[in-house]
DNA sequence: TTGCTCCTCACGTCACGTGAGGTGGC
DNA sequence: TTGCTCCTCACGTCACGTGAGGTGGC
């Protein structure tokens, strides 16, 4: 009149391996054996196993269960801590669901940061712009990112931006100079719309101590020589023009 | 102008080991190296890494991400499946929180099944009764368990039950016979209150194909010789008395 | 020369799952 | 003798964490 390992496992609604695992880690005492070496479990083992199973189902780790010991008194502190952890996990998962919902709604590619999703939906960004947006999203702070998203949505910025995007590497000098000249007022207006954009990296996320150099490297990586030349010319124009009248 | 492994990891908000792990499993292509063997990462690597990180943060497994390939198009089907899984997980965790709340409210020991918590709170059960209750909770179906919980709350059943519990192993014959005689009507009333109790194991949970033998074994394990003798006498009395008049 | 970063093994974690190979009971 | 259950290793899983031991760059 004793249960085998399989019977014990079935009664507890668990597996053979779990019972043996609990023996291995010392959570469940090994029972007496018959002459042939087979284990014989009694009610005490079943009760103990059910208690372990119940706690693991609640999310208690095996070391924690071991620390609670054999006495059946209920450890209010452990349970309260666990409850708080569960609450935090639930919140995290719910935030994940919200983000998934946003991705599905906007049908954005999964490498676009969610903050730029609305912009990405209306203006279809080229591969380079998407890469640039992804990098910037890591380097910009909240304010900078919002400003960037807002700019992406503007038609005028978008049109001339597209022109810049598609500039071939072998564009001749007049073309580059002309593009830089037409870009200058647009960029000035952007600066005007977003005061303090120069300090946009102040509230950058953790780990991007490199804000400026990172953005610089991304630009150097992504754009061709003609485009880089246009940016140089643009910088020159912005610096040498009279300052923006406030 | 290239990022080191550490810089790449920091920019993506992750760890050195994670970057190397993604190399190992082929999720992230290894970049070119300098003459001294150091890796040089570019924007493409950062974008890829950020995409991976975003998906893992949402709960997508690495093999799933690998299956999605390098193209940034968003896999609606995968995301919808994931969303459903998240919803299921959240529900499970919320049920766990409800149960933790019940345990804390009733201050029940963690080996008592939750269905018997109210009963356990008012009538403090002895160790044997608790073990018996735990075993029965695995062997009884919903109906049987409810009936059992209801009985535990009745004062009359409780009083004579406590007497049975505390019966010493060396109780003399008249004591046992007397206890059995006084138990008989109580048990008959219980049967009267819960018609069809004989089939209580019909809706027993998965894996307890042993309902009757299990309960029998638990009784044999938990009670002393005098108590078992009382049960035998009780059984005899119940069988030989005229049937309960309906 | 001293720190500092980079590199590649390679074992550890957590709670088991899954055979591999051998024996006892009917 | 044939299935069936039981047993003990022992490696695999998942997504990394954490040293161990050695080298390059300033």
- In chain B, residues with a C-beta closer than 8 Å to the C-beta of A12 are 138
Tell me what pLDDT residue A203 has: 61
Residues, chain A: 246
Tell me what pLDDT residue B44 has: 93
Read off the pLDDT of residues B33-83 as tens digits, 9 standing for 90 and up: 999 999 999 999 999 999 999 999 999 999 999 998 776 666 888 899 999
Half-sphere exposure of A129 (CA within 13 A, CB side): 18
Helices vs strands, H then E, count in chain B? 12, 0
pLDDT at A159 > cutoff 50: yes
Tell me what pLDDT residue A149 has: 84
Closest residue to D25 (CA to C1') is B36
Distance B27 CA to C12 C1' (A): 23
Q: pLDDT higher for A28 or A138?
A: A28
pLDDT at A13 > cutoff 90: yes
Highest mean pLDDT (candidates A171-180, A216-225, B131-140): A171-180
Read off the pLDDT of residues A71-101 as tens digits, 9 standing for 90 and up: 666 688 889 999 999 999 999 999 999 999 9
Confidence of residue A11 (pLDDT cuts 50, 70, 90): very high
DSSP H or E run through A35: none
Confidence of residue A59 (pLDDT cuts 50, 70, 90): very high
Tell me what pLDDT residue A208 has: 47
CA angle (B146 as vertex; B142, B149 as ends), nearest 5: 135
Considering only residues 61-80 of protein chain A, which place a Cβ less than 7 A from any atom of strand C?
61-63
* Residue among B12, B108, B205 minimizing CB distance to A13: B205
Mark residue A37 as left, alpha or beta (left: phi above 0; alpha: psi -120 to 50; beta: remaining).
left
CB-CB under 8 Å, B108 with A3? no
Confidence of residue A124 (pLDDT cuts 50, 70, 90): low
Tell me what pLDDT residue B47 has: 93
Say whether the CB atom of B6 is under 7 angstroms from strand C: yes
DSSP H or E run through A128: helix A127-139
Taking residues B10-24, report their average pLDDT: 96
pLDDT at B246 > cutoff 50: no
List phi, psi (to 5°) of A41: -95, 145
Tell me what pLDDT residue A193 has: 85
pLDDT at B132 > cutoff 60: yes
Tokens of residue B234, six digits = 């009780």
Distance A36 CA to C22 C1' (A): 14
Read off the pLDDT of residues B172-209 as tens digits, 9 standing for 90 and up: 999 999 999 999 998 888 888 887 665 655 565 544 45
- In chain A, residues with a C-beta closer than 8 Å to the C-beta of B209 are 10
Share of chain B above pLDDT 70, in %: 87
B-chain residue closest to A107, CA distance = B74
Say whether the CB atom of B34 is under 7 angstroms from strand C: no
Q: pLDDT higher for A238 or A49?
A: A49
* Residue among B72, B76, B112 minimizing CB distance to A104: B76
Pairs of residues, one from chain A and one from chain B, whose beta carbons lie less than 8 Å apart: 172
Alpha helices (runs of H) in B107-172, residue ranges in sequence order: 117-122, 127-139, 142-152, 155-165
Read off the pLDDT of residues A182-195 as tens digits, 9 standing for 90 and up: 999 988 888 888 87
Say whether the CB atom of A21 is under 7 angstroms from strand C: yes
CB-CB under 8 Å, A97 with B54? no
Tell me what pLDDT residue A62 has: 96
Half-sphere exposure of A207 (CA within 13 A, CB side): 14
Nucleotides of D under 7 A from a protein CB: 5-8, 10, 14-18, 24-25
Query: CA-CA distance, B24 to B40, in Å (whole number)?
Result: 17
pLDDT at A58 > cutoff 80: yes
CA-based nearest residue to B4, from B27, B38, B29: B38
Say whether the CB atom of B20 is under 7 angstroms from strand C: yes
Distance A33 CA to C24 C1' (A): 14
Tell me what pLDDT residue B114 has: 82
List phi, psi (to 5°) of A210: -100, 10
Distance B60 CA to D25 C1' (A): 40
């Amino acid at each position: 009149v004793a249960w085998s390992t399989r019977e014990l496992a079935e009664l507890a609604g668990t597996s053979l391996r779990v019972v043996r695992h609990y023996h291995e880690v010392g959570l469940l005492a090994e029972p007496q054996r018959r002459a042939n070496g087979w284990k014989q479990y009694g009610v005490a083992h079943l009760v103990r196993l059910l208690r372990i199973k119940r706690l693991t189902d609640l999310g208690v780790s095996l070391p924690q269960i071991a620390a609670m010991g054999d006495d059946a008194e209920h450890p209010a502190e452990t349970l309260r801590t666990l409850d708080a952890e569960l609450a935090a996990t639930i919140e995290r998962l719910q935030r994940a669901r919200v983000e998934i919902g946003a991705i599905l709604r906007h049908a954005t590619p999964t490498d676009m940061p969610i903050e730029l999703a609305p912009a990405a939906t209306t203006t279809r960004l080229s591969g380079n712009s998407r890469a640039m947006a992804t990098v910037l999203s890591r380097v910009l702070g909240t304010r900078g990112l919002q400003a960037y998203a807002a700019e992406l949505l503007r038609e005028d910025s978008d049109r001339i931006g597209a022109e810049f995007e598609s500039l071939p590497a072998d564009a001749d000098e007049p073309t580059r100079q002309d593009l830089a000249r037409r870009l200058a007022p647009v960029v000035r207006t952007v600066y005007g719309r977003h005061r303090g954009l120069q300090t946009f990296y102040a509230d950058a996320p953790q780990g991007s101590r490199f804000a400026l150099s990172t953005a610089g490297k991304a630009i150097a990586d992504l754009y061709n020589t003609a485009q880089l030349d246009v940016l140089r010319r643009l910088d020159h124009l912005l610096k040498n023009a009279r300052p923006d009248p406030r």
